[in-house]
Amino acid sequence: MEEEKKAAHFIKNIIINDIENKKISKIITRFPPEPNGYLHLGHAKSICLNFGIADEFSGECNLRFDDTNPAKEEQKYIDSIMEDVKWLGFDWEDRLFHASDYFDRLYDFAVELIKKNRAYVCSLSGDEIRQYRGTLTTPGRNSPFRNRSTAENLDLFERMKKGEFNDGEHVLRAKIDMSSPNINMRDPIIYRIKKTAHPRTKDKWCIYPMYDFTHCLSDAIEGITHSLCTLEFEDHRPLYDWIIDQLDTPCHPKQIEFARMNLDFTIMSKRKLNILVEKKYVKGWDDPRLPTLAGIRRRGFTPQSIRKFCSLIGISKKESRIDLGVLENCIREDLNEKAPRVMGVLNPLKLIIENWPEGQIEELDAMNHPQKKEMGTRKVIFSREIFIEREDFMENPPKKFFRLGPGREVRLRYAYFITCRKIVKDDNTGEIKEIICTYDPATRGGDAPDGRKVKGTLHWVSGQHSIPAKVRLYDRLFLKEDPEEANDDFTDNINPESLVTLDNCRVEKSLENAGAGDTFQFERLGYFCIDSRDSSPDQLIFNRTITLRDTWAKLKKKKH
RNA sequence: UGGGGCGUAGUCAAGCGGUUAAGACACAGGAUUUUGAUUCCUGCAUUCGGAGGUUCGAAUCCUCCCGCCCCAGCCA
């Protein structure tokens, strides 16, 4: 994980400064998800930041569920979030917390606020509260209930807790300043009645604290030193500080805001991700096209690659959009190191070697990784009828096409040089049915003793000795870099070819025992992993994680 | 038009009064290659949103201007 930590950024600078000034001895951060959805790459950025900083400065990072709205939160999200954080490679050890763990203490803090005449029960309706709040440019007005006596406030608040009122009848508000230019300071609501069972506290409470009240106090209770959050909470910082200042808390954490991550060709909004799932644009929360951690995991991304990515994109306050190439580069870099090489043919084209005896087979040695001898070798079976990639043959190839064409000689990887002699076409459609070639027996293994060179090397599998497979080719989910661009319906920008399923692929026999999640490089094509949900030994299903860098494809594209 | 933020290369991003303005991705060349992969070289901001000012010296300090983002949930 070493190299994932080097980059300097403003938050780190603040922390270093705090340590040097002896303000703080031990750094404590927290990752505070609301369990109302699945984690995505944006969360990964926050997880890596919080856990990474704790790690780097020998501190601690807590996992804390911000579960103050039982109407939206569910246990299944809590479970999946824990799984995702673990998968990413972080450990909260014994520090698993929930804001709901603090409901009693939070209630006491609220009482303390009332006693200090810094909070009151307001009985305005929701609409009225909005009207009294004023607008961005006009100040708000004081609630008629603002001057209730402490005794009355205490009594009412207790009765709210006891369940004597209905949802919306009363709220508890901080008494700050209705004319503040910062709307968050205009007597914000800190408790509301919500007669909803909570996933953890069940029916114990019918009043729940709001985010602004809960978050800062939870941080203080846990002794958080640096409370890192996203930019939209910048306006809430004065309130965060105000609440801590009014109350007798163990410490005063420092809130620091950083910019969310935006990634090209995808979306990070929980709400919109939810629409994609609910309206079946994708097949579920773990659809490999989604930026959810469950999705990219199934797609074949490794935790290392995601951590690397998060370290590369940096931390700043500038709103930015990350080039997809950065993510792609991270996964290629990691898989290039780790993935065993193998041969698979996506769109098979039959090729017959006419001077190879019928029924004869030969076992050839193939390296599992050309740069890593220690990964060993395997046998691949060569025979008279093989499959090559349809794309690797052209009847009228252009100059720069280094593959097979009439009369051309190429190398079959780890096997022999072959020369194309004939093309067999379908009489009616004109489609190429098979290619007839001859091989040069002197080139076994792929080298010519006479030193002659070939321009291209093709991957292949034996017709008889390969196994069928389905392959899912994934591409970007959206056509636009920013699918949420002004007045667009983001679903209009969905890439209709984000998933292409190939049912008639052939892969080499060594893959027959591959298991869920195993990742391979199909030489010359890309990285593919066994789908963890749908694949079975009888029917292998691979997900394409990412293609190899393809300068030939780029060249072709340029010409058009 | 209130308040809070942000502007350094195509995209991220270091930089904190004196540097030839880091690094990554992308891009363009070249070398090696039994993956058009990998790896390896080389190039890629006389300039930091703009204009003024302070200073021997400014991306860094000051002033004004311009552009973009966020805030009016009993969501987080």
Considering the domain boundaries, does residue A263 fall inside one? no
A108 and A194 co-located in one domain? yes
| Domain total of chain A | 3
A59 and A201 co-located in one domain? yes
Mean pLDDT of chain A: 96
Considering the domain boundaries, does residue A297 fall inside one? yes
A258 CB closer than 7 A to any strand B atom? no
pTM over 0.90: yes
Pairing of strands A519-522, A526-530: antiparallel
A52 and A94 co-located in one domain? yes
A227 and A89 co-located in one domain? yes
Query: Residue A239: enclosing H or E segment and its boundaries?
Result: helix A237-246
Predicted pLDDT of residue A416? 98
A391 and A447 co-located in one domain? yes
- Interatomic separation, CA of residue A75 and C1' of nucleotide B49, rounded (Å): 48
CATH label of the domain that carries residue A9: 3.40.50.620
What are the tokens at A511?
Answer: 């893959």
Last residue of a domain, one of A426, A459, A492: A459
Considering the domain boundaries, does residue A417 fall inside one? yes
Last residue of a domain, one of A408, A439, A459: A459
Predicted pLDDT of residue A488? 72
DSSP A309-341: HHHHH---SS-EEE-HHHHHHHHHHHHHHHPPE
How do residues A95-107 score in pLDDT, each as one tens digit?
999 999 999 999 9
Considering the domain boundaries, does residue A188 fall inside one? yes
A445 and A485 co-located in one domain? no
Considering the domain boundaries, does residue A265 fall inside one? no
A335 and A354 co-located in one domain? no
Considering the domain boundaries, does residue A394 fall inside one? yes
A452 and A533 co-located in one domain? no
Name the residue with tokens 């070639």: A437
Considering the domain boundaries, does residue A447 fall inside one? yes
Which of residues 170-199 of A have CB within 7 Å of strand B? 171, 181-184, 189, 192-194
Residues A269-293: what's their mean pLDDT?
Answer: 97
A117 and A235 co-located in one domain? yes
Catalytic machinery residues of A: 34, 260, 270
Predicted pLDDT of residue A213? 98
Q: Which residues contact A290 (CB under 8 A, 6 or more apart)?
A: A40, A266, A273, A276, A277, A282, A296, A477
Domain span holding position A283: 270-340+469-559
Q: Are A411 and A456 in contact (CB under 8 A)?
A: yes
A454 and A473 co-located in one domain? no
A559 CB closer than 7 A to any strand B atom? no
Cα–Cα distance, A357 to A360 (Å, whole number) = 6
CATH label of the domain that carries residue A441: 2.40.240.10
Which nucleotide's C1' atom has the smallest distance to the CA of A131? B72
A523 CB closer than 7 A to any strand B atom? yes
A187 and A225 co-located in one domain? yes
How do residues A488-515 score in pLDDT, each as one tens digit?
789 999 999 999 999 999 999 999 999 9
A274 CB closer than 7 A to any strand B atom? no
A127 and A198 co-located in one domain? yes
ipTM: 0.97
How do residues A116-147 score in pLDDT, each as one tens digit?
999 999 999 999 999 999 999 999 999 999 99
Considering the domain boundaries, does residue A464 fall inside one? no
Last residue of a domain, one of A432, A459, A486: A459
